[in-house]
Chain A
Amino acid sequence: MSYAIEVQNLSKSFGSLHAVRDISFNVARGDVLGFLGPNGAGKSTAMKMITGFLEPTAGRVRVCGHDLHEEPVQLKSRIGYLPEGAPAYGEMTPVSFLEFIGEIRGLRGRHLQDRIGEVVRSIHLEAVLEQRIETLSKGYKRRVGLAQAILHDPEVLIMDEPTDGLDPNQKHEVRTLIREMASTKAIVISTHILEEVDSVCTRAIIIAGGRLLFEGTPGELEARSRLHNAVTLSVNRDSFAAQRELSALGNVDSVDIRTDSSGNTRLTVVPAAGTNIINEVTDFVRTRGWTATEVRVESGRLDEVFRTITTQQASGGART
């Protein structure tokens, strides 16, 4: 089976500004691809090209077998798209807005009303259905945008920062919704919230300065962390003494000391790259007769990996 989204050597320049440079990736049904990257990295620009709003300077896009240039209308009919900032016609009410989108998406009569009902329920829009969109709060506007994107149950869903501006409960619900839809769809989301990558994405790509710098699973991303497989523990010993002793262990790169706001001090033993030191550390603690009140293995800090990957590259669109 071919991929639902195929992007080959996609580039976009605005004058001398290269917003997207030679990006290629594929997304299969069942995948949720997370687009990560600093502000101005080119995430939104890439999405605008895939959905047919912007003309690529170079490269190819195919969605469900439809080429962007040859069959733009068919391509668009397969996609549900939440543009950045969730634009909507302000003078309309959510219900008339959804009816309009549904009609254009080819839904009719009963079926349209049923779909609107389902979507309104799953995104909790009941309370604002008859209120003008321009008077809605930011989070509700975003939800109207989400509702519009999933209304026709598209095979491909592309969402630019879908949880931006939502309250924590809504964020949670939207992530759950994305996971539920994931099995049958190919989904691309962009986000600045790194936990989101862990909780909903099956794959992630990192873009900075228009270039694709990383592609892989969230696990692989975490594995790049200095803290991957690090051991965090709190012991009933003087932190500095413990730090000195632990640092002397084989395969230990460094030992960090952190004190949290309630005064608890933890040591984080960072392993040499690619090694696993949990056994060494626990054995050591036992043979020295320390009492450890907490021991845990870190999976890696995404924010740290993100920073490392994206700061090697000057962020923002690079000029020639």
Chain B
Amino acid sequence: MKNILSIFKRELRGYFATPVAYVFIVIFLFLTGIFTFYIGGFFERGQADLEPFFRFHPWLYLFLIPAISMRLWSEERKSGTIELLMTLPVTLGEAVLGKFLAAWCFTAIALALTFPMWITVNYLGNPDNTVILFGYLGSLLMAGGFLAIGSCISALTKNQVIAFVISVVICFLIILSGYSIVLDFFRAWAPQAVVDAISSFSFLTHFDSIKKGVIDARDVLYFGTLIAFWLYANTLVIDMKKAG
């Protein structure tokens, strides 16, 4: 436990010791603003909620989260520090978890910095703040899912560009599997159970229900399982690489 904390602290400090953190946060805030106000039609809708804000999170994360996660293990491998880390008395699980939690905490900080959005909507109208809170929670869970995938992929290669591209593709497929175009394609020939299974893999399906303010144990469980699965795969990948 204390090892996870030590690794977590080191990692998180690492983000802020380089321009990565600031560039990421500025771009994240800038893009959420654009999406919410211009594309999402925040004002035109005339409703006091953050739906247009959250609606684009999956698409923002699709590119921004792999940019965070690509360095998680690739960089350690490239710079050789992985040899240092893996010969310290820590277990693989502790290392994977410590690094993942730091990245997650970092995205939570970026997400928290969108609070002016929340203030604006409260100033303009009378929104249901529970729904907004759930929206944030759902968004954070989804970010965790993207991060776990990206972390696992970055353990596969010392090349950050490759890690980025593969992560984006995988996340893209997982998002897509909730879209009606894709589902219609399957609906044409596959049994309903298969279609449901495919749609239940999508971030969108689960994120949508959470951001509507309905917190269902199944949605939380979905993200929890997804994160656990990819982090476990992450440890397997690193262990496999040990064999050379």
CB distance from B106 to the nearest CB of A (A): 14
Asked if B87 contacts A81 (CB within 8 A), the reply is yes
Distance in angstroms between the alpha carbons of A61 and B89 in the assembled complex: 16
**Interface size (B, Cβ < 8 Å)?**
24
A115 within 8 A of B: no
Whose C-beta in chain B lies nearest to the C-beta of A108? B2
Asked if A100 contacts B10 (CB within 8 A), the reply is yes
A117 within 8 A of B: no
Contact of A76 (CB < 8 Å), options: B10, B17, B89, B243: B89
Asked if A83 contacts B84 (CB within 8 A), the reply is yes
What chain B residues lie within 8 Å of A48 (beta carbons)? 83
CB distance from A17 to the nearest CB of B (A): 10
Whose C-beta in chain A lies nearest to the C-beta of B10? A100
Task: Give the interface SS of chain B, mostly helix, strand, loop or mixed.
Answer: helix
What chain A residues lie within 8 Å of B244 (beta carbons)? 12, 14, 54-55
Within 8 A of A (CB), among B1-33: 2-3, 6-7, 9-10, 13-14, 17-18
A53 within 8 A of B: yes
Distance in angstroms between the alpha carbons of A132 and B14 in the assembled complex: 12
A292 within 8 A of B: no
B88 within 8 A of A: yes
B169 within 8 A of A: no
What chain A residues lie within 8 Å of B91 (beta carbons)? 73
What chain B residues lie within 8 Å of A96 (beta carbons)? 13
What chain A residues lie within 8 Å of B243 (beta carbons)? 54-55
What chain A residues lie within 8 Å of B83 (beta carbons)? 48, 53, 83, 87
What chain B residues lie within 8 Å of A90 (beta carbons)? 79
Chain A, residues 126-139, CB within 8 Å of chain B (1/0): the string is 00000010000000
A4 within 8 A of B: no
B81 within 8 A of A: yes
Distance in angstroms between the alpha carbons of A90 and B243 in the assembled complex: 27
Whose C-beta in chain B lies nearest to the C-beta of A87? B80
What chain A residues lie within 8 Å of B13 (beta carbons)? 92, 96
Q: Pick from B3, B14, B86, B87 the residue with the most CB of A within 10 Å.
A: B87
Contact of A83 with B14 at beta-carbon distance under 8 Å, contacts A77-B89, A105-B89 already known: no
B90 within 8 A of A: yes
Q: Pick from A85, A87, A132 the residue with the most CB of B within 10 Å.
A: A87
A101 within 8 A of B: yes
A104 within 8 A of B: yes
Contact of A91 with B80 at beta-carbon distance under 8 Å, contacts A73-B90, A100-B6, A103-B6 already known: no
Whose C-beta in chain B lies nearest to the C-beta of A145? B84
A51 within 8 A of B: yes
What chain A residues lie within 8 Å of B45 (beta carbons)? none
CB distance from A65 to the nearest CB of B (A): 15
Contact of A104 with B87 at beta-carbon distance under 8 Å, contacts A83-B80, A85-B80 already known: no
CB distance from A301 to the nearest CB of B (A): 35
What chain B residues lie within 8 Å of A85 (beta carbons)? 80
Distance in angstroms between the alpha carbons of A145 and B153 in the assembled complex: 29
B218 within 8 A of A: no
What chain B residues lie within 8 Å of A83 (beta carbons)? 80, 83-84, 87
B residues in contact (CB < 8 Å) with A:
2-3, 6-7, 9-10, 13-14, 17-18, 79-81, 83-84, 86-91, 242-244
Shortest Cβ-Cβ A-B pairs, 4 listed: A87-B80, A77-B89, A91-B17, A76-B89
Provide 12 A-B residue pairs closer than 8 Å at the C-beta atoms, listed in order of the A residue: A12-B244, A53-B86, A55-B242, A73-B89, A83-B84, A87-B79, A89-B10, A91-B18, A92-B13, A100-B10, A101-B88, A104-B6
